[in-house]
Amino acid sequence: MIELFPLKGFTIGGMNIVKKIVSKMANSLASPTSVLSHPFTVAVEGNVGSGKTTFLNYFNKFDNVGVFAEPIDLWRNCNGYNLLDLMYKDPKKWSFTFQSYVQLTMLRQHQKKIHQPVKLMERSLYSARYCFVEKMSRDGLMAAPSVAVIDEWFKYITKFEDTKVDLIVYLKTSPEVAYERILKRNRSEERTVPFEYIQALHDIHEDWLCRKTLHNCVAPVIILNADLDRSVIEEEYERFGPHILNKMPLQAEVL
């Protein structure tokens, strides 16, 4: 409680003004629309074609959730350059450039302040490094010195910036289902993606989030069966909704 004491030469009218200012400040601090320093942050991870957009659209209907889709529009237009398209067409030449920009834009996603208590992010800095840079490194599409530069930036950012993730939702799909969805949605940049690429990304996600044999799993993981058809997948969302919305603590058996 704040108590105000009259100062010498300070009029009653002046006191009333001060009281009004203090009251407004207190109401502002208590307002449910004030920006949160760190909302409960959920990274929605999964292979290409795993249904992340469908998942985000479902939870976007809740007033207490802020949803952040992957900044694909930025990747398609970096000062007029479509880095996503360049990377798919000539990955050996453009992987480092593309992943450098991905790291920057994903950092901005982590840093964005919201009023809602729950923040859902489509992918994260961690999957960018642990899955996609990992794949490029294994395939020789990104030279070892380039990987080292990406990695040094990654370690610096995750040490000194608030990139904390409180929960990971892994939309687990079979490579066959993911690839079929990619073919159906027919994005121009993805037309040259071979099945082997999707298979390899699946294995990397499994090693990171299921077997936990690759890199560091930075948060508890909920695994959803994302092979399910859209007509029934919402049952999976509802099943884990209380955990995703931070209304129920996680039990060991759901990890």
* Axis-axis angle for helices 195-205, 175-185 (nearest 10): 130
DSSP annotation string for 71-112: -HHHHH-BTTB-HHHHHHH-HHHHHHHHHHHHHHHHHHHHH-
At a CB cut-off of 8 Å and minimum separation 6, what does 69 contact? 53, 56, 122
Strand partners of residue 81: 78
Which residue among the candidates 45, 70, 122, 236 is catalytic per the annotation?
A: 122
Q: Is 180 marked active-site? A: no
Q: How far is CA 254 from CA 60, 114, 130, 241, 244, in A?
A: 23, 28, 23, 12, 12
Residues carrying an active site annotation: 122
